[in-house]
């Protein structure tokens, strides 16, 4: 039994049992993948995969039991290297952050600036993507830290920590009729076209929920993942904008007016997620503390190896 065989078993599940995709993901040949699977099944004396001819269809009952062990063995193998790196050189290495555009643009710049000052020899990579893409990067061990508002909870392979709460705000061009109202309501907003986030991003589900609770069906004429894009189209007069409060700056967004809406009371929570069982370098704990000061090393370390509880 070797680690390449274990990687192939894990990748077969991730690639929905396509041997071609497994070979592509692991930079090897399809015959080589098939041979490794047969070798480990012969060694263990059980079939791991259900087959139809040469095609894999799923996991056998022994395979279902084995896959969890395989995942843990591969994570522990990665942890061995990280532990060695930790003691060999405490202030050098790599840190991969997977996050959304909103977090990267509005919350992380000062955190990253501080981290780079304190750990100049650590190579930091920032991957922007959708919340689902962030989950995938974490589960596959391709990212050390994931930061997003959606999708990070209730993932068995991840542990997610709440970091901070935030709300949405309404923005309009200067002189818009809504600025004349003494009390701004959802009903008044729904009279105009709406410009807001794409589904699955930056609390969009909460926006839809709030309008639905009020029995309203707003005309969303433009959706995007980038608040800067949304603000640009609001300035052109395309519609009323609903964006994250952190994305609006009176000093920077001088052509826009922020309106206070008491009806928007639903709270969004940004979370930081880690792969369960993953050994974290000391500088990873420091980055976490810079982003969320309440998440001290002892707090994170005590929970990262806990079992998932639905």
> Who contacts 176 (Cβ-Cβ below 8 Å, separation ≥6)?
240, 257
Q: How far, CA to CA in Å, does 151 sit from each of 134, 147, 211?
A: 9, 10, 21
Q: Is residue 310 part of a domain?
A: no
Average pLDDT over residues 138-155: 93
Q: d(Cα 149, Cα 291) in Å, to the nearest integer?
A: 14
Number of domains forming the structure of the chain: 3
Report if residue 297 sits inside a domain: yes
CATH number at residue 45: 1.10.10.10
Cα separation, 136 vs 15, whole angstroms: 12
Arithmetic mean of pLDDT, 185-202: 93
Residue 119: CATH number of its domain: 3.40.190.10
- Between 136 and 84, residue with greater pLDDT: 136
Placement of tokens 């792969």 in the chain: 275
In terms of residue numbers, what domain contains 115? Answer: 89-165+269-303
**Eight-state DSSP code of residue 221:** E
pLDDT at 286: 94
How high is the mean pLDDT of the chain?
88
User: For 31-72, how does the pLDDT look when each residue is reduced to its tens digit (9 = 90+)?
Assistant: 888 888 888 877 888 888 888 887 888 888 888 888 888 887
Mean local confidence (pLDDT), 145-164: 94
How many contiguous H segments (helices) and E segments (strands) does the chain have?
12, 12
Whether residues 16 and 95 fall in one domain? no
pLDDT of residue 170 exceeding 70, the answer is yes
Q: What is the pLDDT of residue 288?
A: 97
In order of 22, 30, 31, 223, the CA distances from 27 in angstroms are: 8, 10, 12, 38
- pLDDT (mean) for 210-239: 94
Whether 159 shows a pLDDT value over 80: the answer reads yes
């Amino acid at each position: 039994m070797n680690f390449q065989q274990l990687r192939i078993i894990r990748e077969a599940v991730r690639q929905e049992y396509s041997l071609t995709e497994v070979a592509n993901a692991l930079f090897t040949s399809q015959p080589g993948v098939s041979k490794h699977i047969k070798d480990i099944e012969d060694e263990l004396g059980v079939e791991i995969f259900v087959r139809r001819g040469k095609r894999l269809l799923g996991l056998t009952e022994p395979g279902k039991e084995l896959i969890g062990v395989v995942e843990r063995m591969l994570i522990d193998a990665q942890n061995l290297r990280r532990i060695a790196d930790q003691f060999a050189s405490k202030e050098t290495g790599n840190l991969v952050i997977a996050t959304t555009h909103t977090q990267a643009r509005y919350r992380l710049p000062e955190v990253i600036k501080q981290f780079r000052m304190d750990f100049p020899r650590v190579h930091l990579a920032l991957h922007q993507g959708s919340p689902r893409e962030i989950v995938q990067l974490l589960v596959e061990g391709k990212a050390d830290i994931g930061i997003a508002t959606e999708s990070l909870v209730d993932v068995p392979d991840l542990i997610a920590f709440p970091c901070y709460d935030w709300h949405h705000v309404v923005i309009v061009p200067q002189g818009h009729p809504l600025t004349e109202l003494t009390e701004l309501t959802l009903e008044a907003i729904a009279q105009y076209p709406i410009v807001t986030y794409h589904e699955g991003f930056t609390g969009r589900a909460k926006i839809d929920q709030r309008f639905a609770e009020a029995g309203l069906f707003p005309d969303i004429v433009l959706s995007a993942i980038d608040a800067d894009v949304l603000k640009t189209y609001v300035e052109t007069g395309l519609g009323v904008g609903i964006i994250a409060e952190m994305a609006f700056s009176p000093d920077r967004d001088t052509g826009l007016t922020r309106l206070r809406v008491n009806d928007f009371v639903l709270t969004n929570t940004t979370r930081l997620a880690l792969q369960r069982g993953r050994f974290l370098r000391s500088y990873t704990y420091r980055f976490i503390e810079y982003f969320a000061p309440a998440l001290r090393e002892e707090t994170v370390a005590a929970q990262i190896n806990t079992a998932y509880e639905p």
